[in-house]
Copies of this chain bind each other. A is one copy, B any other.
Amino acid sequence: MDEFSFIKSIKPGFYRQSSLIKGINDDAAVIRPTGEDIVTAVDTMVEGVHFSKETMQPYHVGHRVLAANISDLAAMGSTPAFFMVSLTIPSSWNQEELEELYEGMKQLAHLYKMDLIGGDTVSGSELSVTVTVIGTVPKGKARYRSAAKPDDVLFVTGTLGDARAGLEWLLNGEPKVDEDVAYLVKRHRTPSPRVEFAQSLVSLSRLTLNDVSDGIANEANEIAEASDVDLLIDAGKLPFSKAVFRKHPERFEEWMFSGGEDFELLGTVSEEDWPLVEKAARNIGLPVTRIGEVAIKREVSPKVWIRRDEHMEVLGPSGYTHLKEKGE
């Protein structure tokens, strides 16, 4: 197909955001800020690295790459507003598949009233999708990894390890699809960024958020490092679904730490404000679980600790290596 035609072919008929002055159709898009801060991030997914046609249909690819970007905005407390898409298209993808991919983005964009305001389409040897997202946040309300303080409550939304279990079924599962499989596969293919949860906490004066893209082992270490504190996680308190427990009783614990791509939010908040977090989650029907606390660092460099019974272990960014080594 014509190198330049795809993005133009999906040009929206109208825009939803009133702050947009110029969308697709010129050299660049123009936005008139409304007094809020602007938040932006970019993320790339490559076929054969981040997904394959064996485990995802084009629709899921579109959904997931935009969801991953929106999740970054959610982790900043930001409301999504715009996105741009740069597509590298190999000859193995046809127009219909590209439209399906875009449909996956469009459904999610619709949900968050996001406008597609630009992009690029080029040819190449492998499918690659780069999404740039732009959102807004009230002045001074961006949620940083560096905001955690000793004695904060450490919490996480939803359940962990589901997306990894869904991928496992897609790669190695038995043909039979039951309710658990359907749930886990959905968690892998069409994750839900936690935008509403983050937005509902806008009144809190201090809040730390980080989205679970690589696994909480990594994300917890990022918070510890940025805030220069220790995090203590109670292994027994980590939230998991019945589905992941039933399907993978021996592996789900590892996946909770390092499975990744659940796109839940890991955060910290003062003990005083914790009930407000619980209430906000209840109001939108999203589970939130207290999984530990923030502490003054014990050593020179900040660390994440796993507490199990009376026993503490360090949790590195790539996961719970002790458990993995013992094959527990």
Chain A residues near B (Cβ < 8 Å): 21-22, 25-33, 37-46, 48-50, 71-73, 75-76, 78, 84, 86, 88, 117-120, 122-126, 128, 130, 132-135, 137, 139, 142, 144-146, 209-211, 226
Contact = CB atoms under 8 A, between A and B. Distances in A.
A28 B40 contact: yes
A38 B33 contact: yes
Given A88-B44, A130-B130, A76 B123 contact: no
Contacts of A211: 27
A40 B39 CA distance: 13
B28 A37 contact: no
Given A21-B37, A42-B120, A124-B126, A28 B86 contact: no
A122 B130 CA distance: 11
A29 B25 contact: no
Nearest to A82: B40
A38 B41 contact: no
Contacts of A28: 39-41, 72-73, 75-76, 78, 133, 135
Contacts of A27: 41, 71-73, 75-76, 145, 209-211
A142 B30 CA distance: 8
A211 B26 CA distance: 10
A63 to B, nearest CB: 18
Most buried by B among A73, A119, A124, A144: A124
Nearest to A218: B4
B126 A26 contact: no
A296 to B, nearest CB: 22
A201 to B, nearest CB: 15
Contact of A86 (B22, B42, B76, B117): B42
A275 B41 CA distance: 42
Most buried by B among A25, A118, A132: A132
Contact of A84 (B40, B124, B128): B40
Contacts of A43: 86, 120
Contacts of A209: 27
Given A30-B38, A33-B38, A142-B22, A46 B88 contact: yes
13 contacts: A26-B76, A27-B41, A27-B145, A28-B73, A28-B135, A30-B38, A30-B76, A31-B37, A32-B38, A40-B134, A42-B86, A125-B125, A132-B132
